[in-house]
Amino acid sequence: MPKVIIVGGVAGGATTAAQLRRIDPDIDITIYEKGRDISYGNCGLPYHIGGEVAERDQLIAATPESFLERDIIVKTHHQVIGVDAGSKTIQVKDVLNGGTFEAEYDYLVLSPGGAPRTIPTLLDVPQAFVLHSLEHLDEIKAHIENKNIERAVVVGGGYIGLEMVENLVRRGIRVTLVHRAENLYHPLESDMSGFIADELEAKGVDVKLNAEILDVDGDIATLSTGEEIDAPMIVAGIGITPRTDFLKDSDVAMNDAGYVCVDQYGRTNHEEIYAVGDAIETSYQHVDRPVNVALAWSAHRMAYVISNQISGDKTAHFEGLLGTNIIRFFDYDIATLGLEISELKEYPHFVIDHKQKNKAGYMADSVPIHVRLHVAQSDGKILRAAVVGTEGVDKRIDVLSAHIRLGGTAMDLANIEVAYSPPYSSPKSVLNMVGYKTMEKMNRLKDG
């Protein structure tokens, strides 16, 4: 009976274990998780602070006990500190009790995830938090309740920061957002993101742009602008780094940024070692280019692929990523897919920009949707898409994703047969119109 060891028990790791057990009732599965908990809804953590997830325990999909019932052994507080691919062993540290031991595997699945970044200034500040685990959530909630927190500082204007801001505001906490750059939410084109600052102002959030926290003294933080602000709670939401330090003495191949490189089967450079989740580098689906993005969809898909590979069904594979993503920011939905803005310059392309009502324009509650495509000049391939609005954005990005995946071009969007009725679309939908616009643009380019 092959022995499978899984490093990391959250999204990718837990899903791989569950799926593997589903396929194979007998295979030997052990999960080592450095933290206290496994299999919780990481992406849902902020929404419990805001109250949309009513009960904390709703975020927990499985426990070591529930996994044991399915004959999956889970060792929490057990940190894997080394991998020896030659002898097929790992070194494990028992975090609570001390001591290390070795364990042998036939298949190893790496799902270490990312470590939340913070800033050195905040390292020893007792009221500074990150939110990346259930433990973090419990700490933050305890702090809010014990200290009766009414004001908070959020550091970082990316997706983690914005979700944090929204949920603290929903909880009734007055928020100051400190962001070190000029533009908020850098995954979105800066000339499309002006509404974020407006929305922050409308919700009473103090925004400090081009600012960093230089020092914290008691409950007062001093910014690089010289300003002092109330900071009885600080949450840093400035991204993650792959938690792959433990692999540095192994010869598991990683890219320069420390992401584990995998192929379409989730395999590393070692036949028996797979990797999944936020710490991997895979490829784009639509262009030949490596990518590492921390997205739950791909973790779940890769977990499926890996569990099938290990259990002997070699047909399952990972097609690569479009990087389809969305965040809600108060009334707005912000979605993108495809190449990052910084990657576009290597691809000759033109831009199609389009605004149209989400439903029949005569409906009283119709609202505009803004779509921007970056389209390859040679063949009309959609390299990148951004969609922003207050309703129906998720529909348009998902349709784009399905369309691009099967080879649909920007021109071909004209042919998508949408479900039309006045409450849902125009007869020529937002995406149809983008298709027609692209056809005209392509014809102009051809003509001269």
Contacts with its own copies, residue ranges (CB under 8 A): 11, 41, 43-44, 47, 51-54, 58-59, 285, 295-301, 304, 319, 321-322, 324-328, 333, 335, 337, 360-365, 392, 394-395, 397-399, 401-403, 405-408, 414-425, 427-429, 432, 436
Q: Minimum Å distance from CB 371 to its own copies? A: 14
Q: Minimum Å distance from CB 285 to its own copies? A: 7
Q: Which of 64, 67, 85 lies closest to 75 in space, CA to CA? A: 64
Q: Minimum Å distance from CB 52 to its own copies? A: 5
Q: Among residues 206 and 319, whose Cβ is nearest to its own copies?
A: 319
CB 337 within 8 A of CB 400: yes
Q: Which of 112, 109, 104 lies closest to 86 in space, CA to CA? A: 104
Q: Among residues 234 and 352, whose Cβ is nearest to its own copies?
A: 352
Residue 261 annotated as catalytic: no
Q: Minimum Å distance from CB 327 to its own copies? A: 6
Q: How far is residue 196 from each of residues 142, 159, 200, measured CA to CA in Å?
A: 30, 12, 6
Catalytic residue among 22, 36, 43, 443: 43
Can you give the C-alpha Rg of the chain in angstroms? 23
The conformation of residue 146, written as its DSSP 8-state character, comes to: H
Q: Minimum Å distance from CB 30 to its own copies? A: 24
Cα separation, 85 vs 372, whole angstroms: 46
Cα separation, 378 vs 362, whole angstroms: 38
Cα separation, 85 vs 108, whole angstroms: 9
Q: Among residues 55 and 69, whose Cβ is nearest to its own copies?
A: 55
Q: Among residues 42 and 79, whose Cβ is nearest to its own copies?
A: 42
List the 234-236 sheet strands across, edge first. Answer: 128-129, 234-236, 151-155, 174-178, 206-208
Q: Among residues 35 and 392, whose Cβ is nearest to its own copies?
A: 392
Q: Which of 342, 133, 330 lies closest to 243 in space, CA to CA? A: 133
The conformation of residue 266, written as its DSSP 8-state character, comes to: S
Cα separation, 171 vs 169, whole angstroms: 5
Beta bridge partners of 102: 91
Q: Minimum Å distance from CB 95 to its own copies? A: 28
Q: Among residues 85 and 404, whose Cβ is nearest to its own copies?
A: 404
Buried b (16+ CB within 10 A) or exposed e, 72-82: bebbbebbbeb
CB 81 within 8 A of CB 92: yes
Catalytic residues: 43
